[in-house]
Chain A
Amino acid sequence: MKTNTTNRIVGGMNSLLRRPLLHFWLIGFLIFVVERGYFAPEVVLEVAYPNADQIAALASQWQQARGRVASAAGLARMIQQAIDQSILLSEALRLGFHYQDSIVQQRLIRDMRFMQDDSAASDVELLEQAYAMNLHVNDLVVRRRLVQMMESYLRASGENQPLTDKVLRVLYLEQIETFTQPERLSFSHAFVSQDRYRGKSLERAQQLVKHFEEDELSPDAGVSMGDPFISGYRFSKVTQRQIEREFGAGFGERVFDSRVGQWGGPIRSVYGWHAVWLSERLPAEPMSYESVKSKLVYEYRSQTGNLSFENAMAALRAQYQITGAPE
C-alpha cells in the first residue's frame, strides 16, 4: 500500500516537471532573480544643484524681501532650501502623491482641457494623458502642492504616539520656571475724588482712614463711604502692574507695601486719594497645569513637527546625490 502511494507521488511529480507552464514560471523567476540581483542598476536618488540663473533669482528675492544684499551665509541657506524643495518633490513623486491628491488631479485635468479645448476625452483619459506627458512634474502649481504635501507628511511622521497628559505634565515640570504667576493681592478701596474735594481731598482721605481704623470698619462699610470709582471698589488677585494700569504709576507699589487685614493709606492715584484694605496676599507661585495646558499642546505640536521634519529631511539629504554642485 505504501509502495503504491509512493509510486503515485513520484509519477505525479514527473508529470508536473514535464509541464510547459511550470517551465515558463521557473525560467521567468530565474530571469527576474538574475536581473534584480546582478544586472539591475542601483537606484540612484539625485537632484540638481541650482544653476547660475536660479541662484541669481534667489539672491534677488532675498534682496527684495530683506531690503539688503544677501550675505554668503544667507545665500547658502537659500540654495539649500531650493535643494531641499527638489528633494521633497522627488520624494513626493516616488511615493505617488500625484496619484492620490484631488487638487493635483483637478489641476492636471484643467491643464489638459486648456491644451485640448475641443477634446471629448473624459477626465480619467485626460488625467492618464497628463501623467504620460509628465505634466505633474512640469506644472508649477502641482510641484508646489506636492512639496507642501511632502512637508506635512514629514512633519506628521513623528506623531505616531498620541499626545498624553503624562507627556504634557513632564513638559510642564521642565518649564515650570517660565510659568510663574507673580505676587498678587486682593484689596478694597474707599475713593476720595480730587475733583469733588479739590484742595481738601487729602484731608478728607486722612479723616476717612482715621475713622476706619478707630471704628474698626469692615472693608464693605469703608468702601461705601467713599466716592464712586469707575473701575470698581474690589480688586481680586491682581498684580502690581495690573493695579498701576488702573490707578497710574506708583500706586501699585504703595498698595503692595500695605498690610493685610487693616486699613492703610491714604494712597495717591491720578484720580485722588484712596483708603486701602488688603484682604489677602498671594505669593508668587507656579501657574497651574490646567491653565497652561493649551499652550503646552501648541508648543509640543510645533516642536515635534519641526523636529520630525528636520530629522526626516536630514535622512533624505543623506540619501540624495546633488549633481552639478560646485567643487
Chain B
Amino acid sequence: MNWKKWVGLAIFIALIFGVYRVSLLINALTLPNSEEEIAAVREIVDRQNEGAFYRPTRKSLEAKAANPLKNVYFGDLHVHTNISSDAYLFGNRLDMDTAYRIAKGESQKTRTGERMELTRPLDFAALTDHAEGFGRRIACDGPDLSEAGTKQCEERSTPSLIGFLKLRSKAEQRPMIRDLAIFNEDSVVERDFAAQTWQQVQDAADRHYEPGAFTTFAAYEYSPALPDRGKHHRNIVFRSMDVPKYAVSGFDAVSEIELWKDLEATCTNDCEFLTIPHNMNKTWGLAFSGETIDGVAYTEDDWKLRERNEPIVEMFQIKGNSECSVAFGAGDEECGYEQFFPPCDQGQETSCIYPTSMARDGLQIGLALEDQIGVNPLEFGMIGSTDTHNSNPGDVEEWDFRGATTFSSSPAERRMSGDNVTGIRINNPGGLAAVWAPENTREALFDAMKRKEVYATSGTRIKLRAFAGFDMPVDIAETGDLTAAYKQGVPMGGRLYASESKAEGVSLFVWAVKDPDNAPLAKLQVVKGWIEEGERQEVVYDVACGGSEFDPATGKCEANGATVDMNDCSWDNTAGASELKTLWTDPDYRSNEDAFYYVRVVQNPTCRWTTYDSLRLGREPLDDSPATVTEMAWGSPIWVKAK
C-alpha cells in the first residue's frame, strides 16, 4: 500500500471515529419525549437485573421516643421536585406530595421506569425548589398566555439537555434577568404567582408533618449561577410556618448579603430562618473568599450578617465533596473521596478548586477573621444532603442511585454509556444530614442546626458523637457516660474556652457506631486546624483503628483487609469494627492558639453505584470509576479558644 492509501485509510478511520463521537453526543443530548420514546426507555429498564446484588430488607417509618440526651435523626435538606424548572426540563413530573411520600418510605418509579425506594425512611426532609422558578408552572398551566409565554412554556416543558443548558446560560447573566414572558411581562403577576407556589410549598410541608415521626420544613433554594455550571447557591430553611410572604430569590437579592438583609427584614416576630450554602467545590473560590458574586468585598457588617444567619454548610452532596482538597493543607488522601475537581492551574478560573473553596479552608479563614473583626463568621457546622432533582429525598444508598436528573441520567444503560459524555459518573448518590436533637420536631431539629450539633454523612447512617473538654473523665471511653460528656465538655458545634479551665490539655471523646445496614468501620480520625504566624495549619490524626493496628511509624491505621464480593456487592462483616470509641488528647495542644477540631469516620469499602449498575447490566465495572467507596461521616467542628 502506498502512502496515499495510508493517508486515505487514516482519514477514513478518523471520520468513522468522528461520526461515532458525534452520535454519542447526540444520543446524550437527546432526551425521550414522545410516548413511544418513553416506552422504549422503559423496555430497556425492564431488562435491568435488579436482583443481581445484595440489598438490606426495607423498614417502615417509626417514631423515636424523646430523649433528653438526644437522638440522632437522619434527613435530607436539599431536594428538588417538579416545581424546579431544571428538574422539569430533565423530565421530572413527581410533585411535592410524592417526594414526601418517598421520604416516608413509599416506593415510586422515575418516568424512565426505574424504581426508587429507601431501605429506611428519613426522619426529616426539606424540599428546596429554586425560588427563581416559583410561579412559572402555575402560569404555564393557566389560560391566556401570550404568544411569547406559550413558546417559553413549551420550551421549558419539553425534556431537553439543550434546553437546560440554555436556561443555565441565561441564569449566569449578572445581575440575574427576571424573564417575565410567561407572566405577560408583568412583574406583579409574577410576584403573585410566585407567592402562590411558595404557599403550596408551605401547605405540602404542613400536610406531611408528623411530629415525633417525620418532620418537614418550609424551605427553598436561592440560586445565582456561575459560569461553567458553577453555582453560589444557598438553601433557606425556616423554623416554623411563620414565614415571609415572598421567597427571596436571586432576582430579588443580587448577592448573599442582600439575601440575608432581605430575610432579616421580612422574617420577623416568630419567624426564624437559617441559610445553608452548598457545593462550595463549584463556587470557583467564592465560597470563603470574602467577596460577593460580583466581586464586592465583604465589610465587617457583612461578615456579621453571615455569622448570624449561616450556622451550617452542606459539605457533601450528589455533585461532590466539599470538605478539602488533596492539593492543599495536610493533603490527606480522604480529601479525594468523591472529589469533583482538581486544584486550579495557573490562570484557570473555573472547573477547579481554589484555596478558598472548601469547608476546611473556610474554617481556617474564620479563625483568621476572628483576630481581625472580633467574631468568627465562619464557625459553621457541617451536614450532607442530596440535591436530587428526582423528587426522592435521602435516596442515597449506592444500590438505589438512579441519577439525579430523570431522563438525563436514567436508565443504567445511559449512566454507563461508553465514554461518559454527560459526565454523570463523576456524581455520587449524595449524603445525609444527621442531627442530634431531643425529639423529632421542627423546633428541636432547627435549634440543633442553629447550635451546630449536626454532622454530615456520605449516605451511610453511622452514629457519631464527639465532645471536647479540658477535664473529661479519663474512663469515659469505657463508661460511655453521655451525661458526664455534656457536663464536662461541649458537643460537636460547640466552643470551649481555655480560660475557663486550669487544665493544660484538650481531649476529645469520640464515639462512632456503624450503620446497622452497612459495612463496619475502618478508622476514626481527628482533623485539627489553626493559624500560626498568619499561616493556615492543619493536621490529621488517626485516633482509633477498626480491626487493624496503629502504625507508629506512619501515624496511620494499617489496612484491616476488608473485602467486597464483586459478584453481588455483599460486604465483609468480619473485618473492621462495629463501633470505635476513644478519648484522645491532642499531643500538640497549645493554650495560646485558637484551633478547631472535627472528627471523620471512615467505613470499610462497599460497592460504588457504578458497580451496582454494572451488575444490573451484567457487565464488568468500568475502568473510569472506582469499583468501591469508603463511605464517611464528618462531625461538625468544636472550636477551642486560646487563653
- Show the binding face of A for B, using Cβ within 8 Å: 54, 57, 60-61, 64-69, 82, 107, 110, 140-141, 143-144, 193-195, 227-232, 235-239, 241-242, 244-249, 269-272, 298
Contacts and interface: CB of A to CB of B under 8 A. Distances in A.
B64 interface: yes
B144 interface: yes
Interface string B65-82: 101010100000000000
Given A140-B144, A228-B479, A248 B62 contact: no
25 contacts: A64-B153, A64-B154, A65-B157, A67-B93, A67-B111, A140-B189, A141-B189, A141-B192, A193-B578, A194-B578, A228-B511, A230-B463, A230-B511, A231-B513, A232-B69, A237-B65, A239-B62, A244-B59, A245-B62, A245-B120, A246-B516, A247-B516, A271-B513, A271-B579, A272-B578
Contacts of A228: 478-481, 511, 581
Interface of B: 33, 35, 38, 56-57, 59-60, 62-65, 67, 69, 71, 91, 93, 111, 120, 140-144, 153-154, 157-159, 184, 186, 188-189, 192, 207, 463, 465, 478-481, 511, 513-514, 516-517, 546, 577-581
Given A195-B577, A227-B480, 5 more contacts: A193-B578, A195-B579, A228-B478, A230-B465, A269-B516
A67 B38 contact: yes
Nearest to B56: A249
B480 A230 contact: yes
Contacts of A237: 65
Contacts of A193: 578-579
Contact of B65 (A68, A82, A195, A236): A236
B59 A245 contact: yes
B581 A242 contact: no
Which of B63, B158, B207, B578 has the most A CB atoms < 10 Å from its CB?
A: B578
Pairs of residues from A and B, 3 with the lowest C-beta to C-beta distance, nearest first: A228-B480, A64-B157, A248-B516
A230 B579 contact: yes
A174 B153 CA distance: 46
Contact of A249 (B57, B140, B481): B57
B197 to A, nearest CB: 14
A68 B38 CA distance: 9
Contact of A241 (B59, B158, B478): B59
A268 B188 CA distance: 64
Contacts of B153: 64
A193 B153 CA distance: 60
Nearest to B38: A67
Contacts of B142: 140, 144
A238 B62 CA distance: 9
B492 to A, nearest CB: 14
The B interface is mostly helix, strand or loop, or mixed, namely loop
Nearest to B142: A144
Contact of B186 (A141, A144, A232, A270): A141
A241 B57 CA distance: 12
A270 B514 contact: yes
Nearest to B515: A270
A327 B60 CA distance: 53
Contacts of B189: 140-141
Nearest to A241: B62
A232 B478 CA distance: 14
Nearest to A63: B157
Which of A66, A140, A239, A247 has the most B CB atoms < 10 Å from its CB?
A: A140
Nearest to B82: A65
A65 B95 CA distance: 11
Contacts of B579: 193, 195, 230, 271
Contacts of A66: 93
A193 B581 CA distance: 12
B62 A242 contact: yes
Nearest to A233: B480
Contacts of A144: 142
B188 A229 contact: no
Contacts of A61: 140-141
Which of B157, B465, B480, B579 has the most A CB atoms < 10 Å from its CB?
A: B579
A241 B62 CA distance: 7
Contacts of B64: 242
B274 to A, nearest CB: 26
Nearest to B137: A65
A55 to B, nearest CB: 12
Contact of B141 (A65, A239, A245): A65
Contact of B35 (A68, A141, A227, A247): A68
A103 to B, nearest CB: 8
B157 A232 contact: no
Which of A57, A228, A232 has the most B CB atoms < 10 Å from its CB?
A: A228
B58 to A, nearest CB: 10
Contacts of B184: 140
B578 A241 contact: no
Contacts of A229: 480
Contacts of A230: 463, 465, 480, 511, 513, 579
Given A244-B59, A248-B516, A271 B578 contact: yes
Which of A60, A82, A141, A242 has the most B CB atoms < 10 Å from its CB?
A: A141
A56 to B, nearest CB: 12
Nearest to A239: B62
Given A230-B465, A270-B516, A57 B578 contact: no
B172 to A, nearest CB: 26
A85 to B, nearest CB: 8
Contacts of B111: 67
A270 B578 contact: yes
Contacts of B93: 65-67
A2 B471 CA distance: 116
A271 B462 CA distance: 12
Contacts of B578: 193-195, 270-272
B278 to A, nearest CB: 28
A142 B67 CA distance: 52
Contacts of A82: 143
Contacts of B207: 298
Contacts of B513: 230-231, 271
Contacts of B480: 227-230
Nearest to A302: B207
Nearest to B188: A110
Contacts of B35: 68-69
B118 to A, nearest CB: 12
A66 B111 CA distance: 10
Contacts of B479: 228
A67 to B, nearest CB: 6
Contacts of A57: 143
Contacts of A238: 65
A97 B452 CA distance: 50
A112 B186 CA distance: 14
Contact of B463 (A64, A231, A247, A249): A231
A311 B208 CA distance: 28
Contacts of B91: 67
Nearest to B464: A230
A228 B143 CA distance: 64
A244 B58 CA distance: 11
A228 B485 CA distance: 13
Given A69-B35, A271-B578, A248 B517 contact: yes
A227 B511 CA distance: 13
A175 to B, nearest CB: 16
Nearest to A229: B480
Contacts of A68: 35, 38
Nearest to A138: B144
A227 B479 CA distance: 7
Contacts of B192: 141
Contacts of A60: 154
Nearest to B578: A271
Given A193-B579, A232-B67, A236-B65, A271 B188 contact: no
A172 to B, nearest CB: 17
A248 B71 CA distance: 17
Contacts of A65: 93, 141, 157
